[in-house]
Amino acid sequence: MDDHARFSEALEIDGQRRPLMRFLSRHVRDESVREDLVQESLVRLLLFSRRHAVQNISAAARTIAWNVMRDHFRRRRRVEAEPLSDGQSSDAPLPDQMLLHKQRLQQFVQLLEEMPPLRREVFIRRRLHGQTHAEIAEALDLTPDAVEKHIVRGMRQLCEAIDQR
């Protein structure tokens, strides 16, 4: 796929952000959760559209958003419902899990360092510090749409880098 086609695809997918926010607002009250679900949906839509021909991008976006939302609430319900067992010897991860986590963290940090500075700053404020789009926009003197585009592009950059590794 050439750069022009990728750009057109990204614009078409980014155009789904507002409709997805409206769609999810009927089911999710928390704005920050809604924003996260929309981000995850857009990333999945982008990855899906690269592997499959999508005839109706809006329908695909809503289906993906519905599944992302359903998965989110399932995970949340499962985490809240899992009782702790008295027989657990330790909550500490196993050594191989620690090594894998450390390697993934190093890769993530390296991928963040490869981002342009403003994109990295926006991405870190949103994904790691949990700031809202409005808070980031105000702090960095950006529009909320510019914040959204930086986040989408950061997610796309991370996903592409992970796919290549």
DSSP SS3 for 138: helix
Q: Which of 74, 61, 72, 63 is nearest to 152 (CA)?
A: 61
Topology of domain 95-165, CATH: Arc Repressor Mutant, subunit A (1.10.10)
User: In this predicted model, what pLDDT tens digit does every residue of 46-94 receive, in sequence order?
Assistant: 888 888 888 888 888 899 999 999 988 888 776 655 555 555 555 667 7
Could you report the per-residue pLDDT of 105-160, keeping only the tens digit for each? Answer: 888 888 888 889 999 999 889 888 888 989 999 999 999 899 989 988 988 888 88
The tens digit of pLDDT for each residue in 15-36 reads: 888 888 899 988 888 888 898 9
Nearest by Cα to 104 from 162, 159, 47, 155? 162
- Alpha helices by DSSP H, listed for 26-143, are 31-51, 57-81, 95-114, 117-123, 133-140
pTM above 0.85, yes or no: no
pLDDT at 1 over 80: no
Q: Which residues of the chain does CATH 1.10.10.10 include?
A: 95-165
